[in-house]
Structure 1
Amino acid sequence: MEKDWLALKENFDNFDNIKKKPRPPKPNNAITIAVSSRTLFNMKKERQVYEEEGLEKYVQYQLEHEGQPLLPGVAFPFVKALLNVNSHLRELYPDSEELFDIVLMTNNHAQVGVRLINSINHYDLTIERFCMSGSESAVGYLKAYMTDLYLSKDSEKVREAIEEGIAAATMFACDNENELSDTQLRVAFDGDAVLFSDESEIIAKTKGLDTFFEHEKIFENKPLAQGPLKGFLEALGKLQRKFYAKGERLSCPIRTYLVTARSAASAGARVLKTFRCWGLEVDEALFLAGAPKGPLLQKIRPHIFFDDQMFHIEGAQELGTIAAHVPYGIGQKYYKGNLLQENNLRN
């Protein structure tokens, strides 16, 4: 009898803990980050079962391992950092719903969902919204989930999302990841074809650097058109200002970086004036004049770095930075040729 009573009490205690877990914000107020199951968790072994033995064996394998949490994947540190920002925001604004909302997007069958849920609960992640599309692409649901950013390891799905006007990137892991901050979300962006359109990049690639520099000088006071991730930077800035309003500019748990191959004196003014026109800012702007980005990123140690060129993605990976490829603009002219290269790099 006493054992039964203790078991019942434990169940009630667990129920209380569940009730106390923070609820996700309403989608209309949230910044929605959709992540695929293979970016949030390391499913390399599971993927191997699927490719070598087929769907039925894959589902069976997942069912047999439901009690075994999946290992963290490439997007896991980024998601943890987003949820850490939420915790700080709730302390300052208990009733605010301007928070990050993480949505798990997967083409897994619903039967596999139990293992995903168990893994999320094992790591104490606040992820309540799922999309399990049962072998169909989940990309078509992104707009319905009001997605602000979509992260996947599938280059084709990311390209589909970009073509639908949704900010998206293909994530790449690295063998020896840099140690990342536990208290501050750090996000690094390339400029052209990421935050900005590729209008200037087109000139640089088709007419050469001299013409590019001349063009940027002539149009220094004309803001660049927005690129696919401008909205995400805008969302980060909105949350940063909430911390600034509480006197936490210096201790803000969000920090943003522009890491661009542009030269500062020759082509930097237009970039900074564009930010000013947009009413946005980055915490740090690093103009490299064509120098490799990897060493600077190794110093910054961002949770994620966005770039449209695989050359810079590779350089970031080699020095321990988690990088995400944005397939947008003229840089994707040879996309099909680069796809095999991307697949070889993907873990």
Structure 2
Amino acid sequence: MAASLTNQLVVALSSRALFDFEAENKVFEDGDDSAYMALQLSRLDEIANPGCAFPLVKKLLALNTPEEQRVEVVIVSRNDPVSGLRIFRSAEHHELNLTRGVFTRGSPAYRYLKPLGAKLFLSAHEHDVRAALEAGFPAARVFAQSMTEADKHPNEIRIAFDGDAVLFSDEAERVFKKDGLPAFTAHERSKALQPLPPGPFKPLLDAIHKLQQETAQNSPIRIRTALVTARSAPAHERAIRTLMQWNISIDEAMFLGGLEKGPFLKEFEPDFFFDDQTGHCESATQAGPVGHVISGIANQSE
């Protein structure tokens, strides 16, 4: 019988999302892939340091048991197969149980998300992230400069999400961009009982919520989620009612009314935070790993 990833949370990520390959990437971006391959081969025995997504991956994999495989992490990378040798060797050194990988040697990597059934794609390559989002996959461009402390809260997986254009559609954000805050507030007040359409990260939230329920009683690691949004009262009501309609509970909610998100996230200390606006992402790098969700009206001109 063929192997299957059905009923698992499949996380696909590039090599630069998992490990710190920023120095090597400069050679890759110069367009000389043979030089990049030679460099990675020369460093085959040099263990790569953790990258932006390392803390999240390490904790998610800890949810697996000999009896049940709940999470599968797959490297989906524009690197070449030779570079894959160092990636898997580094993963083994860091005690990450990674067994699957796709290496495309410069070709778009997002094409392989569909056969994998990926619920999350993390990459430093903007084109692949945009294409993955357009294809309906939750995807984010990692901020390589984000803080990475895998030992924070070892018994909790902390994931924080922005609301509009991330968990929810950008419907309301379009009103704000076009007509300003008073129109946005009036729009959201009038539609408080009408759930927001789902955004690109709704499938990931569904999968995380399912994992949260499955592991609540029998796992030493708990999952904790947070909604961190620029919304404020009375626009908060529609967001909360939308989550209620989806039968999803969030552990913490921060309605910040436009305040800088970084200081609040620094208190929450997420293993990953997802936001659609670069300003919020840059602020959040002081608190932990960050992924830019390149979707919605805020990213149409970028």
The bucket for the TM-score relative to the shorter chain is over 0.9
From the two aligned structures, give the one with the greater helix fraction: 1
Runs of 4+ that moved beyond 2 A: 48-53, 94-97, 173-180
Matches within 5 A, 1:166-315: 166-174=137-145, 177=148, 180-244=152-216, 246=217, 253-263=222-232, 265-315=233-283
Equivalent position to 1:328, from 291, 295, 301 = 295
> Bigger shift: 188-197 or 178-187?
178-187
Amino acid in structure 1 at the alignment position of 2:50: P
Change (3 A) 1:176 1:33: closer
For residue 105 of structure 1, what is the aligned residue in structure 2? 76
TM-score of the two chains, using structure 1 as the length reference:
0.82
Whether the 8 Å contact between 2:167 and 2:201 is mirrored in structure 1 is yes
Check 1:42–1:262 CA distance in 2 against 1; reply closer, same or farther (3 A cut): same
Q: How far apart, CA to CA, are the structure 2 residues paired with 1:104 and 1:58?
A: 18
RMSD: 1.8
AA in 1 matched with 2:43: H
Deviation at 1:261, TM superposition (A): 0.5
Cα separation, 2, equivalents of 1:95 and 1:38: 31
Aligned match for 1:56, one of 34, 37, 41:
34
Q: CA deviation at 1:120?
A: 1.1
Give aligned-pair identity as a percent.
Answer: 38
Structure 2 counterparts to residues 144-155 of structure 1, below 5 A: 144-155=115-126
| SS at 2:192 equivalent | coil
Bigger radius of gyration = 1
Task: Write the distance in 2 (CA, Å) between the matches of 1:27 and 1:177.
Answer: 28
Q: Structure 2 matches for 1:45-124, cutoff 5 A?
A: 45-52=23-30, 54-86=32-64, 90=65, 95-97=67-69, 99-124=70-95
Q: Structure 1: which 5+ residue stretches go unaligned?
A: 1-24, 336-347
State the Cα deviation string for residues 222-252 of structure 1 (Å, max 9, x = none): 10000000111111111111233x388xx76
Query: What residue is the counterpart of 2:13 in the other structure?
Result: 35
Indicate how the Cα distance of structure 1 residues 192 and 176 shifts in structure 2: closer, same or farther if over 3 A, else same: closer
Q: Does the Cα contact within 8 Å between 1:85 and 1:185 map onto a contact in 2?
A: no
Tell me: CA distance 1:154–1:241, structure 2 relative to 1, closer, same or farther (3 Å): same
Distance 1:241 1:26, change over 3 A: same
Larger mean CA deviation between 166-175 and 289-298 belongs to: 166-175
Alpha-carbon separation, structure 2, partners of 1:47 and 1:332: 25
- Unaligned stretches of 5+ in structure 2? none
Structure 2 CA distance for aligned equivalents of residues 239 and 40 of structure 1: 22
Q: Return the offset for 1:85.
A: 2.6
SS at match of 1:170: strand
